């Protein structure tokens, strides 16, 4: 069965044409799915009987099964979602003053092996399709009956390691015939897959780019994030400068503060030097505990001192509000299954 959530409007038009269905029908089908929230072809009443029969026979609209749902003390909700092949992923809904933000997954598991991240601990299973990324938003929307304002692709997986499907997802999410989420309300985060940063820059999409940096020293970053052995810090920064030049968009650098590891005054100074003069800001995240993590999570983190040095050096900095850590829904805590966490 063909999952129609995988198609951009153009792709759906081509698919229907190939099957002798008029190209005008693709807009009608998109309208039923994305505007009227109708997922049964029999209810798409402006399609002919033959067209509906074809769609019933060959196509599906792949919403996901909610296997479990947890709510944090702060209102953050985490969903365990089952894909068609039985694989599990997690998706998180957070409430901010500006509205609801959803953090979606892009892969089942992750190959990148970041030391502080639970998503990689069970290894990598497969890429998500564009439709499975779209379906996370639609499934949560439908389950809660709420409308989502912002989407961040920061859940399980490295989106730039699943580039083609990720770009298709962005096109469908951003299309005003599709989910109609403005580009400025879409954010993608990468651990630094350098060639894809260049490719993304050349596409000039109005989508926010976030780099999971976490360390400026290559030897230490190699330990923390093995991807650094292939794409070292200087290469990432060069690619970021290219991105800014091409798009004139501000980049955010994520920096998970780990007490005693990367939170010293000298780390803050090195980060200031690295980012000096760049159109960017630093998002400091107090690192979250995971069951297999080797760091001393109880060590007090030098948040104020660290941020103060960045500000003194003219670097814009925000400290991310920690949401959902009591249900393991914070950054670095998502998994492709439920296990007894901490
Ligand atoms: S932080 Fe991101 S890239 Fe690194 S292992 Fe976790 S999901 Fe993968």
Most informative mutation of 92, 157, 256 for ligand 1 (most atoms within 8 A of CB): 157
pLDDT digits (tens, 9 = 90+) for 119-141: 888 899 999 999 999 999 999 99
Secondary structure (3-state) at 109: strand
Secondary structure (3-state) at 256: strand
Give the C-alpha distances (Å, rounded to integers) separating 227 from 137, 214, 334: 29, 12, 19
Instruction: Give the pLDDT score at 316.
Output: 97
Cα 157 to ligand 1 centre (Å): 6
Mean pLDDT, all residues of the chain: 92
Residue 204 tokens, joined:
């000039």
Residue nearest to atom 6 of ligand 1 (CA): 117
Cα 311 to ligand 1 centre (Å): 27
Tell me, yes or no, if 90 is annotated catalytic: yes
What's the CA gap between 173 and 176, in Å, rounded?
A: 8
Instruction: Give the pLDDT score at 342.
Output: 29
Structural class in CATH, domain 2-60:
mainly alpha
* pLDDT beyond 90 at 87: yes
Lowest-confidence pick of 142-146, 324-328, 330-334, 337-341? 337-341
Cβ of 110 less than 6 Å from ligand 1: yes
Domain ranges for the chain: 2-60, 65-327
Instruction: Give the pLDDT score at 341.
Output: 38
Residue 287 tokens, joined:
């690192």
Beta-bridge partner residues of 96: 99
304 vs 336 pLDDT, higher one: 304
Instruction: Give the pLDDT score at 38.
Output: 96
* pLDDT beyond 70 at 297: no
Cβ of 119 less than 6 Å from ligand 1: yes
65-327: CATH number: 3.20.20.70
Residue 113 tokens, joined:
């092996």
The pTM (predicted TM-score) of the whole model is 0.94
319 vs 232 pLDDT, higher one: 232
Closest atom of ligand 1 to CA, residue 110: 8
């Amino acid at each position: 069965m063909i999952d129609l959530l995988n198609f951009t409007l153009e792709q759906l038009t081509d698919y229907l044409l190939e099957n002798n269905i008029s190209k005008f029908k693709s807009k009608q089908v998109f309208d039923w799915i994305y505007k009227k929230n109708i997922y049964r072809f029999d209810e798409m009443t402006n399609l002919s009987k033959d067209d509906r029969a074809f769609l019933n026979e060959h196509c599906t609209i792949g919403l996901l099964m909610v296997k479990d749902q947890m709510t944090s003390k702060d209102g953050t909700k985490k969903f365990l979602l089952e894909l068609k092949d039985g694989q599990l992923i997690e998706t998180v809904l957070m409430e901010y003053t500006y509205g609801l933000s959803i953090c979606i997954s892009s892969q089942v598991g992750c190959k990148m092996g970041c030391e502080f991240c639970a998503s990689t601990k069970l290894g990598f299973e497969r890429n998500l399709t564009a439709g499975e990324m779209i379906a996370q938003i639609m499934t949560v929307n439908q389950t809660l009956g709420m409308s989502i304002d912002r989407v961040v692709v920061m859940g399980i997986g490295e989106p730039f390691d699943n580039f083609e499907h990720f770009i298709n997802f962005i096109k469908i999410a951003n299309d005003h015939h599709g989910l109609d989420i403005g580009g400025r309300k879409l954010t993608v985060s990468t651990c630094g897959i350098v060639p894809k940063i260049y490719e993304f820059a050349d596409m000039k999409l109005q989508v926010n780019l976030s780099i999971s940096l976490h360390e400026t020293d290559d030897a230490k970053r190699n330990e923390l994030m093995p991807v650094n052995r292939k794409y070292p810090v200087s290469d990432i920064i060069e690619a970021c400068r290219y991105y800014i030049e091409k798009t004139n968009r501000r980049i955010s650098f994520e920096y998970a503060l780990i007490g005693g590891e990367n939170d010293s005054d000298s780390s803050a100074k090195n980060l200031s030097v690295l980012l000096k003069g760049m159109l960017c800001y630093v998002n400091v995240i107090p690192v979250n505990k995971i069951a297999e993590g080797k760091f001393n999570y109880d060590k007090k983190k030098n948040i104020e001192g660290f941020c103060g040095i960045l500000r003194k050096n003219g670097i814009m900095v925000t400290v991310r509000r920690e949401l959902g850590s009591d249900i393991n829904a914070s950054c670095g805590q998502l998994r492709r299954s439920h296990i007894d966490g901490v």
